[in-house]
Structure 1
Amino acid sequence: MNPDPALTRHATPDPRDGRPRADSPGALFWWLHVGGWSGVFLVNYFSALANGKPAEYWTVLFAVAATGFLGTLGLRRLLRACAQLPPARVALVMILPVLLTAAAMALAYKLVTDLAWCRACLPFTRFGYFSYLISQLYVVVGWVSLYLVMTTWRKLRMQTEAALAATAMAHQAQLKMLRYQLNPHFLFNTLNAISTLVLDRDNATANRMVQGLSAFLRHSLDADPMQRVTLKQELDAIGLYLDIEKTRFAERLRVDARIEPACWSALLPSLLLQPLVENAIKYAIARRVEGGTIGLRAAREGGRLRLSVIDDGPGWAVLDDGGAPPDSAPRGNRVGLANTRDRLRVLYGEQQSFELRNRPEGGFEVTMTLPFETAGVPRE
């Protein structure tokens, strides 16, 4: 007597033989429907025996249960046809069919008793038939109510799953866009440098830069943008990038990396640090004749990983109240920092922080904190 939890019209086929699986929605309805009405029959029969009815009373109850079994199949078809109507309209549409189904069950009771299959089962008064009709009406209303509850629950669950899937897909698309938006800036700068070297006939240096660029791009394109990497893998990628830039700047570019040993296996989004290092080179190294130093820091603070990219350049004269680049800052700088901040926000929500500041001793610092994770972490 249980309702169909399915919203589809067909059972899911078993991929092995094409038949409906036992756990598919359509198959589940039939298990529940047959089991429910069988339960109604058995409960009523044992209750009747306990109240002194003869053993042959099963014929009456079987006829009533069979009528209810078939009648509620018709109600099921009608409910599925009305699935898109408002609840109030559904209730109005179902009043007459429910009454007719209950009446058919009461009629089956009367016909079986009138055929003298069970003389001892006859009611003593006509009111007995009416009371039996009312009792069957309760059964049918219960079936319809349970059907609506289960189908509504299943519909809400499917809508929730669809909303979660859509949100996850949107986050993945956003993360991929933010990740791949970073690469062209570096690529254009490197290609311009190679072009300059070729024009200057410095073929050996140009060749080294092409080889370095090839290694970095291979590493970048082979890495899954939705997969976290260890800090060691991230710094290896940064090393490929810095090898290219050292070809351009030679002794003008210096790197100072201070990584706590416990942080090497920490997980973080791939190529998270590259745009920050690129910004430091562009605004703190390239514009100064003497060049400068880029510092990479990683430390564990309890359950959090703290990452910093620092330089000893001129810094920024002004930061807005939120510690973000002002609108007057160069657009490339704002894009790289904004993309990094947005990647962290989409991936970690309130569990991350992204801070910018001018260092008291000179230079600029970008600091990020995120959960310290080393294994068993889902993809971005």
Structure 2
Amino acid sequence: MLISLNFNGISKMKWQALFETRERLFWTLHTLGWGGFAVIYYIGSFLHDMRSVWLFVIILNAYAGWLLTIPLRYIFARAMKLSPLKMLMVVLASVYIVALMWALVKNVNYWEIYKKGYRPEEWYMYFTNTVNSLIMIGCWTGLYFGIKNYQMLLKEKQNSLRASTMAHQAHIKMLRYQLNPHFLFNTLNAISTLILMKENKTAESMVSRLSDFLRYSLDKDPIKKVPLRQEIEALTLYLAIEKVRFEDRLTVIWDVQPTANEALVPSLILQPLIENSIKYAISKLEEGGCIAISAKVFGRDLMLEVTDNGPGADIKDGQMYRENGVGLQNIQERLGSLYKDDFSFSISNSQPSGIKVCIRIPFET
């Protein structure tokens, strides 16, 4: 089984290597085409003559066609840079000249080699191959331009897809990195306050945690997904930084199913939700508040929830808008870019107070 798989893999690599360049593709198809012409022509005239001399003439004719059509490739390449009318004139003239030359070669091979010097009395007998030659060279030209146009369309499609992918990735990265300045501003503000209060050890600890969190943020590509356990480690770093600011006023409750730990999620997808809870819930309560984070697997879906017990907010049609807020909108756009329509994002009031944000995404490991 392994030998068969290896053989198939090697064969596939060889075929890919064969067609990886236009130069190699041309010579391969050019040779196979004229070789196929010789085989089909011989089979078609098999009952006509089975002698080796007839096979030799067919091989000579195929080789002559192979040789004479090579210059057409370079003529057509230059003609494609001309205006449509001039290109058409160059193509037709080239096809006609090559067809006449090939017909002449075939006549020589037929009358001198196969007929051993026999000369027909009717002069038009010398031109019986001309029409067939024009048809054959015309078919070669049609295939050449057909393959050439297909390659051009394929290249344009690849360039378009590459540009679309790059724009898509840049959009996702922009959405992710747009959130960092908000968090960074708040944290540096807190560190500055600690320094002014001469709490240097606490400030140093906060700087160290901030460094670890930013390293995680920069190391993880926004395009790629990470296991939820890594996301939880990063959120733990973030919450440790916020704990320095709020001390006992901030309580965090984790409820993560073991099976959900290995689920793949967009990096730092929950951090803006927790930041919002701290900004609009915990900071508003003098006695402090609680943030509950849960992750559970239901069938083929992963359910993520962030709940706080703050004062809540006005929610209309499942949407909550805050002045100068970018976090919730960015999360929705990131989820839409990564999962298309296979996700849900909802905001609701929690009981007895607070906000609950629920995210449903496909369960992937």
User: TM-score category by the smaller chain?
Assistant: 0.7 to 0.9
Tell me the residue number matched to 2:209.
Answer: 212
- The structural deviation recorded for 1:198 is 1.7
CA distance in 2, matches of 1:115, 1:170: 66
Task: State the AA in 2 paired with 1:353.
Answer: S
3-state DSSP of counterpart to 1:317: coil
- The structural deviation recorded for 1:373 is 0.3
Tell me the residue number matched to 2:288.
Answer: 291
Tell me the residue number matched to 1:339.
Answer: 330
- The structural deviation recorded for 1:246 is 1.2
**Residue 355 of structure 2 corresponds to residue 355 of structure 1:** no
CA distance in 1, matches of 2:159, 2:77: 21
Q: 1:324 aligns with which of 316, 319, 322?
A: 319
Worse-matched range after superposition: 249-258 or 358-367: 358-367
1:208-241 CA deviation, whole Å, 9 max, x = no partner?
Answer: 3223223322333333433321111111111111
CA distance in 1, matches of 2:315, 2:109: 93
**Residue 38 of structure 2 corresponds to residue 41 of structure 1:** yes
CA distance in 2, matches of 1:218, 1:69: 62
Q: Contact 1:294–1:311 at 8 Å: present in 2 too?
A: yes
Q: Contact 2:112–2:118 at 8 Å: present in 1 too?
A: no
Tell me the residue number matched to 2:137.
Answer: 140
Q: Contact 1:56–1:118 at 8 Å: present in 2 too?
A: no
Task: State the AA in 2 paired with 1:325.
Answer: M
Tell me the residue number matched to 2:13.
Answer: none
CA distance in 1, matches of 2:150, 2:129: 32
Tell me the residue number matched to 2:97.
Answer: 100
Alpha-carbon distance change, 84 to 311 in structure 1, aligned in 2, over 3 angstroms: farther
Tell me the residue number matched to 2:152.
Answer: 155
1:54-110 CA deviation, whole Å, 9 max, x = no partner?
Answer: 543456444533432232112211222233568787555422221222221222233
Alpha-carbon distance change, 89 to 344 in structure 1, aligned in 2, over 3 angstroms: farther
For structure 2, the 5+ residue unaligned runs are 1-16
Q: 2:264 aligns with which of 253, 260, 267?
A: 267
Alpha-carbon distance change, 51 to 368 in structure 1, aligned in 2, over 3 angstroms: same
Q: Contact 1:293–1:312 at 8 Å: present in 2 too?
A: yes
Tell me the residue number matched to 2:24.
Answer: 27
Q: Contact 1:299–1:307 at 8 Å: present in 2 too?
A: yes
3-state DSSP of counterpart to 1:306: strand
CA distance in 2, matches of 1:339, 1:298: 21
CA distance in 1, matches of 2:178, 2:233: 21
Q: Contact 1:67–1:104 at 8 Å: present in 2 too?
A: no
Worse-matched range after superposition: 62-71 or 139-148: 62-71
Alpha-carbon distance change, 200 to 81 in structure 1, aligned in 2, over 3 angstroms: same
CA distance in 2, matches of 1:55, 1:215: 81
CA distance in 2, matches of 1:340, 1:27: 48
- The structural deviation recorded for 1:51 is 0.8
> How many residue pairs are counted as aligned between the two chains?
348
Taking the TM superposition and a 5 Å limit, the aligned residue runs for 1:52-131 are 52=49, 55-58=52-55, 60-83=57-80, 90-113=87-110, 115=112, 118-119=115-116, 125-131=122-128
Task: State the AA in 1 paired with 2:346.
Answer: E
Alpha-carbon distance change, 32 to 212 in structure 1, aligned in 2, over 3 angstroms: closer
CA distance in 2, matches of 1:276, 1:160: 39
CA distance in 2, matches of 1:36, 1:74: 16
Task: State the AA in 2 paired with 1:330.
Answer: E
- The structural deviation recorded for 1:242 is 0.8
Tell me the residue number matched to 1:6.
Answer: none
3-state DSSP of counterpart to 1:265: coil
Worse-matched range after superposition: 99-108 or 300-309: 99-108
For structure 1, the 5+ residue unaligned runs are 1-20, 375-380
CA distance in 2, matches of 1:131, 1:253: 97
Alpha-carbon distance change, 104 to 346 in structure 1, aligned in 2, over 3 angstroms: same
CA distance in 1, matches of 2:155, 2:134: 32
Tell me the residue number matched to 1:370.
Answer: 361
Alpha-carbon distance change, 149 to 124 in structure 1, aligned in 2, over 3 angstroms: farther
3-state DSSP of counterpart to 2:252: strand
Alpha-carbon distance change, 66 to 232 in structure 1, aligned in 2, over 3 angstroms: closer
CA distance in 1, matches of 2:110, 2:266: 76
1:256-285 CA deviation, whole Å, 9 max, x = no partner?
Answer: 221222211111011111111011100111
Identity %, equivalent residues: 41
| TM-score for the superposition, normalised by structure 1 | 0.82
3-state DSSP of counterpart to 2:69: helix
Task: State the AA in 1 paired with 2:327.
Answer: G
Q: Contact 1:209–1:244 at 8 Å: present in 2 too?
A: yes
| TM-score for the superposition, normalised by structure 2 | 0.85
Higher RCO (CA < 8 A, seq sep 6+): 1
**Residue 208 of structure 2 corresponds to residue 199 of structure 1:** no
Alpha-carbon distance change, 154 to 122 in structure 1, aligned in 2, over 3 angstroms: farther
Alpha-carbon distance change, 121 to 87 in structure 1, aligned in 2, over 3 angstroms: farther
- The structural deviation recorded for 1:347 is 1.0
CA distance in 1, matches of 2:358, 2:342: 14
Worse-matched range after superposition: 117-126 or 245-254: 117-126
CA distance in 2, matches of 1:204, 1:180: 29
Alpha-carbon distance change, 216 to 130 in structure 1, aligned in 2, over 3 angstroms: same
Alpha-carbon distance change, 114 to 265 in structure 1, aligned in 2, over 3 angstroms: closer
